[in-house]
Structure 1
Amino acid sequence: MLSSFLLIAVFAVFSRNNDTNVVMQTKYVNANNIGITTDSSLNGTWYLIPVLASDTAAGKFPFLTINLKKKQFTGNDGCNDISGTFVAAEDKLTFSDNIKGTKMECKGYDEKAFLHNFLLTSNYKIEDGILSLMNGKTVISKWSRKRAGGVVKETM
């Protein structure tokens, strides 16, 4: 009797929602018992995983907030606030060449090169909570749901 009820309950959960926009989420717990939520969607805020000292030379941490529904992004390139549009389908991603930004001057920072990397992007992958912006098989930049050294927020 109990196994029949469980089978019906499991079936009801799986048949209840056939929305194709469902985002798959996985919760991991690290050694410090902090929940880290990763999901398979581009949607939301991503922080640059810095590789070069110039990535954060202006004193700000680059981030992107992607809105799949509106096909728009906002963020900060490490110096200036930026915004623009993109096209995404499956694992393909291209940013429009009309990225807008504020015009602050930041010493030691090559904004032109940073923004050019968005224009080189042709596809992406998300593995283990890391977003890789790519040009074919070449990784251009990597982004995380949490800022390096920052506090992890649980979003489930």
Structure 2
Amino acid sequence: MKKLLLWFILICGLMLLLFACRSSRQATAAPAALNGSWELIYILDPPSTFHGLYPTAKKPILNFDTNAGTLSGNTSCNSLSGKLNTDGNKIDFNGPIIMTKMFCPGDGEPAFMNVLKRVDRYDINKKEGTMTFFAGDETVMKFTRKK
């Protein structure tokens, strides 16, 4: 009976150790400053002017929930949602993103999605209320916090 109890304690200890190691290797949570809703105000290399890409008042919006590890929003036309992939100030949008498939006139949506897939990090300027996305050293998108 004592051997059985000893084995049980040993196995539980090993499982606890494995679980602790596994959780310590998970990606760092995104800073809470990322939380909320952000509206696109700049995009690099559009096929036309920014206002030509998004002629209506509706511009692309990204919503981040760091607690749930999710993102949602729209491309100015279609809705999107997916898993938030961050590690410190590194971010990527290459994971599965679910989107509605309405017809969207113009080049705004493809421009937004193509540039979004290039993003590898971000920076938040709390004073200005802006978030900048980078691909390497190049600024590719800029957002302003929506209230």
Answering whether residue 123 of structure 2 is matched by residue 131 of structure 1, we say no
Change (3 A) 1:83 1:75: same
Report if the CA contact (8 A) 2:75-2:108 is conserved. no
Report if the CA contact (8 A) 2:119-2:133 is conserved. yes
2:54 counterpart residue number: 56
Q: Which has the higher contact order (CA 8 A, sep 6+)?
A: 2
Report if the CA contact (8 A) 1:58-1:108 is conserved. no
Cα distance between partner residues in 1 of 2:42 and 2:135: 18
What TM-score, normalized to structure 1?
0.62
Cα distance between partner residues in 1 of 2:64 and 2:119: 15
Change (3 A) 1:58 1:99: farther
Kindly state the Cα deviation for residue 59 of structure 1 after the two structures are TM-superposed.
Answer: 5.3
2:37 counterpart residue number: 45
Cα distance between partner residues in 2 of 1:93 and 1:110: 22
Kindly state the Cα deviation for residue 124 of structure 1 after the two structures are TM-superposed.
Answer: 0.4
| Structure 2 counterpart SS, 1:41 | helix
Report if the CA contact (8 A) 1:58-1:109 is conserved. no
Q: Structure 2: state its 5+ residue gaps.
A: 1-28, 44-49
Cα distance between partner residues in 2 of 1:100 and 1:57: 25
Deviations, residues 30-67 of structure 1 (Å, cap 9, x unaligned): xxxxxxxxxx7111111111451244236522111101
Change (3 A) 1:142 1:82: same
Cα distance between partner residues in 1 of 2:103 and 2:57: 12
1:36 counterpart residue number: none
2:97 counterpart residue number: 99
The structure 1 segments of at least 4 consecutive aligned residues displaced by more than 3 Å after TM superposition are: none
| Structure 2 counterpart SS, 1:103 | coil
| Structure 2 counterpart SS, 1:144 | strand
Cα distance between partner residues in 1 of 2:98 and 2:52: 21
Answering whether residue 66 of structure 2 is matched by residue 74 of structure 1, we say no
Q: Structure 1: state its 5+ residue gaps.
A: 1-20, 24-39, 147-152
Change (3 A) 1:42 1:144: same
Kindly state the Cα deviation for residue 144 of structure 1 after the two structures are TM-superposed.
Answer: 0.6
**Higher CA-based Rg:** 2
> CA RMSD for the aligned pairs?
2.2
